[in-house]
Structure 1
Amino acid sequence: MAKKKNDKSIEEKLWDTAIGLRGKVEPSEYKHVVLALLFLKFASDKFEERREELIEEGKEDYLEMKEFYNMKNVFFLPEESRWSYILDNAKQDDIAVKIDTALNTVEKNNPALKDALPDNYFSRLNLDTKKLGTLLDTINNIDTLQDEEQDLIGRVYEYFLKNFAIKEGKGKGEFYTPKTIVNLIAEMIEPYSGVIYDPCCGSGGMFVQSVKFIESHNGNKKKVSIYGQEQISTTYKLAKMNLAIRGISANFGEEPADTFAKDQHPDLKADYIMANPPFNLRNWRGKNELKNDPRWKGYAVPPKSNANYAWILNMVSKLSHNGVAGFILANGALSGGGVEHSIRKKLIKNRLVEAIVIIPRDTFYTTDISVTLWILNKNKRARDIEINGEVKNYRNREDEVLFMDLRTWGEEYEKKYIRLTDEERDRVTENYHNWQQENYKETYKDIPEFCYSAHVDEIAKNDFSLVPSRYIEFTDKDAEIDFDKEMQTIKSNIETILSEEKKSQDQLKNAFKELGYSLDV
């Protein structure tokens, strides 16, 4: 039966109810409340399902033994942590304390959840008891075990993360990477087996989509090992919870920590890296300056004013001899001088840069700027991947870089955001893999306003700029943008504005001075 236009999905209904109950609590705080309750309901449903299995098997004596749950990848829940207990006490004045106790008890009884669940959120936020009870009733209506293949609880979790990211707006909360971009990265670098790493993993979205990529190609998720790092404590917990919901094991380090100041995986060599680092991060070196950090070996020390190239070199240092990295950066990293130019030049000369893809504007919820997808390949000459029993032999042109420009692509959704369609994503991925083939002359060709394969010598003549419009042919000259020129224009405009503002301040000071007063500005 077709869904009526006014019929809302379970995600939408839960979102509407949750937001209506939020009150004065900030979204950045409130999402941990909602997602923790979703996790508790999910864990309880799985626990009760396993409990029934044990009863049917005549193993009543083992109902309170955690080993009989863990062996089936089910979290053991003591009585005070079970959803039924929470519901029975939903109208009590101390329900917030009981929920905090439940989450704490679940964590203590399941080592895999160490530091994964919110700590005393419910008590601290002083939520209205009636509203909290209503939220519990709403979540109780979700059957987390139905339609397992469609990953219902995972869908709800992702929907909430996305909507909280939209609601928090620019510069607030954790950086959420839209699903369309994560899928594009996964489909391009094909993280089918081996070690996967994300140095700034946020809520773990890159890992979730990597595993979904594996499953969609009939692969085995047990063939991948996942490593990540996240600095923000609450986001670190979200990532652990996000993967636990889906039964995905991961190593996020012993604690939330700054990737630069306290690398949790110093000796890691990853086959695949997927990342969306914070854009243009300032003062990232901290007090110790990190000038002699081994991650910069062979390159210059990245500038303190911007961490873009620090992220790049961190990832380069983590790649295995055949490793591939796909990550998002602000467009400013494509060009420019100084230390960044020196590092970029060496990356290109070392044949590490494989592809540069300009992503449409308004793709991200937390910024409206256009961004770039970089693909780095530690071994561009040869890479074999087995998928569905078929071995793909990638014999790439190590002396060339593939440029793609998607600025005019995508469809509008959520009224003001852009996302690549499945067909567009397939076209980009197919084009990239065709370009990688040994017989590329038969499978790939340069296409105006879309793609161009540039030789390293040509890039050198352009002063090692990686701006795609320097290489891709544009038949519509109005569509061509010289980013270097545009940035110089913007810089000049800002300098003019600041100069005029200073003149105005001086004039105002003089006016007050003539009246016998002074302005302390």
Structure 2
Amino acid sequence: MWQAADRLRSNMDAAEYKHVVLGLLFLKFVGEAGPPLRAAGAKPPPTRGFKVPAAARWDTLLGKARSPLLGRDLDQAMAAIEAQNPTLRGILPQIYQRPGLEAARLGKLLHLLDDIPDLGSQGRKAHDVLGRVYEYFLTCFASAEGRNGGQFYTPPSVVGLLVALLAPTRGTIYDPACGSGGMFVQSERYFEEHGGHRGELKIVGQESNPTTWRLARMNLAIRGIEGDLGAEPSDSFMRDLHADLRADYILANPPFNARAWGATALADDPRFCFGLPPDANANFAWVQHILYHLAPQAWPASCSPTAR
């Protein structure tokens, strides 16, 4: 499936194309045809929690796959879903009329994604199936982008090791550079596998890249995971959205060795109680940001919260 989707990419950069594919995957999830037929008088099955107008349903759009105006119809479908679902506003890609994205290629991509089995399943199974497909495509796109792929994605094997080391079983987990949200997905999975229930682990994060922030919001939404990633993307150093947060667990893969991270504007910031790191390298700034946001009982034994 990835090979077929990648062939349809043609000359489009992988960094741009991932938003095309992942947006359509999300649209397929929320826009599948209505619930299965049921006996008269029977209670309707549980919904996925999204309102989808008829024009935005997957079968409707699939019927327009050969239309030269398919890009317009897909953008309108995204806008219509956002309009009826406040939690999705501002996160669905409306990029399908862009120059160079031919309607014929989009139509083939729709048919390709339509072949994914069981995406129309109800309830938790739908979240799990699409979640795995979404993660698989994220992995492939990160590989296609090479070094730049690390800006939005950490390999699942690395995330799994970090999650197992921290073993989140209660409270709040925070990621100040959350990328596409993989840390949260695996933390939630670990939590449930060890007796926790969906919604009991509070998820808080922040991401500065607007397109990556949208990927994270979609990644959590298709898995039925609630999380506070802020109302908009923003830089954790320059605009700390969760300044009062003291988390039980902090799990992050921030952009190390970043230059010009804003040190000159943050000389008196309480987060940097161990000394202001140089503006030429943000590594120690990330360490101090993380320590600052840890709950006192979660601090390493060798450190003292009173150092703040």
Q: Give the TM-score normalised by the residue count of structure 1.
A: 0.55
Match of 1:412 in 2: none
> 2:89, 2:70 → 1: CA distance?
23
Alpha-carbon contact 1:144-1:152 (below 8 Å) kept: yes
- Which of 18, 26, 40 aligns to 1:39? It is 26
Mapping 1:438-453, distance limit 5 Å: none
Q: Pick closer, same or farther for the CA change 1:293–1:54 going to 2, 3 Å.
A: farther
Match of 1:294 in 2: 270
1:223 matches 2:223: no
User: Whole-Å Cα distance in 2 between the matches of residues 114 and 281 of structure 1?
Assistant: 31
Q: How does 1:190-229 map to 2 (within 5 A)?
A: 190-229=167-206
Distance 2:63 2:174 in 1: 42
Aligned counterpart for 1:318 among listed residues 293, 300, 304: 293
Give the conservation status (yes or no) of the 8 Å contact 1:282–1:304: yes
Of 282, 299, 308, the residue aligned with 2:259 is 282
Amino acid in structure 2 at the alignment position of 1:289: A
Cα distance between partner residues in 2 of 1:240 and 1:254: 10
- Report the secondary structure of 2:144's partner residue: helix
Tell me whether 1:79 sits opposite 2:54 in the alignment.
yes
What does the per-residue CA deviation read over 1:400-423, in whole Å, with 9 as the maximum and x for residues that have no partner? xxxxxxxxxxxxxxxxxxxxxxxx
Aligned equivalents of 1:152, 1:267: Cα separation in 2: 36
Structure 1: distance between partners of 2:296 and 2:140 = 39
Matches within 5 A, 1:90-489: 90-118=65-93, 120-142=94-116, 143-145=118-120, 148=125, 151-171=128-148, 174-285=151-262, 289-297=265-273, 299-323=274-298, 351-352=302-303
Equivalent pairs counted in the alignment come to 303
Deviations 1:196-241 (A, max 9, x none): 1100000000000001101212321221111110011000000000
Give the match's secondary structure for 1:226: strand
| Residue type at the aligned position of 2:191 | I
1:23 alignment counterpart:
10
- Contact 1:281/1:307 (<8 A) preserved: yes
| Matched letter for residue 247 of structure 2 | A
**1:254, distance to aligned residue in structure 2 (A):** 1.7
Taking structure 1 as reference, are residues 58 and 296 closer, same or farther at Cα in structure 2, changes over 3 Å only? closer
Helix, strand or coil for the counterpart of 2:248? strand
Q: Secondary structure at the match of 2:75?
A: helix
The higher-RCO structure (CA 8 Å, 6+ apart) is 2
SS of residue in 1 equivalent to 2:147? coil
Taking structure 1 as reference, are residues 226 and 150 closer, same or farther at Cα in structure 2, changes over 3 Å only?
closer
Conservation of the 8 A alpha-carbon contact between 1:28 and 1:173: no
Which residue does the alignment assign to 1:359?
Answer: none
Cα 1:121–1:205 change in 2 (3 A) is same
**In structure 1, how many angstroms separate the alpha carbons of the residues matched to 2:277 and 2:164?**
30
Whole-angstrom distance in 2 between the partners of 1:135 and 1:199: 34
TM, length-normalised to structure 2: 0.91
Percent identity over the alignment?
42
Bigger radius of gyration: 1
Partners of 1:91 and 1:149 in 2: how far apart?
27
CA pair 214-145 structure 1, distance change in 2 beyond 3 A: farther
Contact 2:179 2:213 in 1 (8 A): yes
How far off is 1:149 after superposition?
8.3
After superposition, the C-alpha distances for 1:462-484 in whole angstroms (9 at most, x for unaligned) are: xxxxxxxxxxxxxxxxxxxxxxx
Task: Kindly indicate whether the alpha-carbon contact (under 8 Å) linking 2:22 and 2:134 is maintained by their aligned counterparts in 1.
Answer: yes
Q: Structure 1 53/274 Cα, relative in aligned 2: closer, same or farther at 3 Å? A: farther
Q: Any conservation in 2 of the 1:25–1:125 contact (CA below 8 Å)? A: no
List runs of 5+ in structure 1 lacking aligned partners. 1-12, 60-67, 325-347, 353-376, 380-521
SS state of the match for residue 244, structure 2?
coil
TM superposition shift of 1:128:
1.8
Q: What letter corresponds to residue 301 of structure 1 in structure 2? A: L
**Once superposed, what is the RMSD of the aligned Cα atoms?**
2.5
Quote the offset at 1:152 in angstroms.
1.9
Shift of 1:87: 0.9
2:40 & 2:176 partners in 1: Cα distance?
A: 44
Q: Distance in 2 between matches of 1:54 and 1:282?
A: 63
- Kept in 2, the 8 Å contact 1:323–1:378? The answer is no
Contact 2:30 2:48 in 1 (8 A): no
Deviation, structure 1 residue 44: 2.1
Q: Report the Cα distance in structure 2 between the residues aligned to 1:52 and 1:189, rounded to whole angstroms.
A: 45
- 2:127–2:222 Cα contact (<8 Å) kept: no
Q: CA deviation at 1:133?
A: 0.9
